[in-house]
């Protein structure tokens, strides 16, 4: 009750949730566990959108954040181009177990659920998702540096990056990588270096070496050619 009064778990307007939920509805009627317009169904649709539209999703535990601290970190994350969303753990775990299905909200036998999803163990305390719409390691590095100021009140426990699951050590390795445009530029430079004269020389060197090897072998089996040479 205290955390709700402090605004750490802001309520999402029903109209906003409804508009999000409608985007998942097909022309055919959906069959869902809970009523289509219920808060749980709309939240599940929101989690589906959050996970599928953001290539970088970091999961962080938050402990006893006061209202001012919560507002500070939200503001700083927004300046980095990200967004923090507090999750309902049990409902998000339901989504994860059904995320591989066309509609996670539909009734699903337990045998068809993914009960070994690698993210499931992360939800053992109050959890928030920090999302970024682009894969930029530099922004992740700035975020991790920012969270060092939280005195363990907000800390990352895992992440999803471009469809892969990273633990904290792997995430620290990821933050040191170049951005996608930089990697593409390096690749283009390498291809340019190998093209034109550089590629011709490489091919010529191989053929010249092959010619010398064959000529030597020919001389060894033909003493007359060896004498003439």
Do residues 22 and 104 share a domain? yes
Do residues 102 and 209 share a domain? no
Q: Assess if residue 201 is contained within a domain.
A: yes
What span, in angstroms and rounded, lies between the C-alpha atoms of 225 and 128?
Answer: 80
CATH number reported for the structural domain that contains residue 54 in this entry: 3.30.70.1730
Query: Of 55-69, 119-133, 142-156, 178-192, where does mean pLDDT reach its minimum?
Result: 178-192
Do residues 178 and 210 share a domain? no
What span, in angstroms and rounded, lies between the C-alpha atoms of 180 and 22?
Answer: 33
Q: Alpha carbon of 149 to those of 29, 52, 143, 167, 217: distances in Å?
A: 48, 30, 10, 21, 71
Pick from 144, 174, 173: nearest CA to 157: 144
Query: Of 3-7, 111-115, 123-127, where does mean pLDDT reach its minimum?
Result: 3-7
Do residues 111 and 142 share a domain? yes
Whole-model pTM? 0.71
What span, in angstroms and rounded, lies between the C-alpha atoms of 226 and 229?
Answer: 5
Do residues 74 and 167 share a domain? yes
SS3 32: coil
What total number of domains does the chain contain? Answer: 2
Q: Assess if residue 39 is contained within a domain.
A: yes
Do residues 87 and 199 share a domain? no
Do residues 160 and 132 share a domain? yes
Higher-pLDDT residue of 123, 220: 123
DSSP 144: H
SS3 130: strand
Range of the domain at 85: 2-182
Give 155-194 pLDDT, tens digit per residue. Answer: 999 999 999 999 999 999 999 987 777 777 777 777 777 6
Do residues 51 and 136 share a domain? yes
Mark out the alpha helices in the chain (DSSP H runs): 2-5, 14-24, 39-53, 67-79, 89-98, 137-147, 168-174, 180-194, 196-221, 223-228
Do residues 134 and 38 share a domain? yes
Do residues 49 and 102 share a domain? yes
């Amino acid at each position: 009750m205290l955390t709700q009064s402090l605004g750490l778990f802001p309520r999402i307007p029903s109209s906003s949730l409804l508009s999000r939920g409608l985007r998942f509805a097909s022309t055919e009627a959906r069959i869902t566990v809970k009523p289509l317009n219920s808060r749980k169904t709309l939240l599940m649709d929101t989690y589906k959108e959050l996970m599928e539209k953001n290539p970088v999703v970091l999961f962080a535990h938050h402990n006893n954040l006061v209202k001012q601290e919560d507002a500070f970190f939200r503001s700083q994350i927004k300046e980095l181009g990200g967004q923090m969303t507090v999750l309902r753990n049990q409902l998000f775990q339901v989504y994860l177990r059904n995320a591989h299905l066309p509609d996670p909200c539909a009734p699903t036998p337990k045998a068809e659920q993914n009960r070994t999803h690698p993210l499931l163990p992360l939800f053992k305390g109050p959890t928030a998702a920090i999302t970024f719409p682009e894969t930029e390691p530099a922004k992740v590095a700035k975020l991790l540096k920012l969270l060092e100021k939280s005195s363990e009140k907000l800390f990352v426990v895992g992440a999803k990056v471009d469809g892969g699951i990273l633990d904290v050590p792997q995430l620290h390795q990821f933050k040191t990588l170049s951005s996608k445009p930089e990697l593409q530029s390096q690749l283009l430079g390498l291809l340019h270096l190998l093209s034109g004269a550089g590629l011709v020389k490489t091919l010529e060197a191989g053929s010249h070496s092959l010619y010398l090897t064959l000529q030597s072998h020919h001389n060894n089996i033909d003493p007359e050619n060896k004498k003439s040479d």
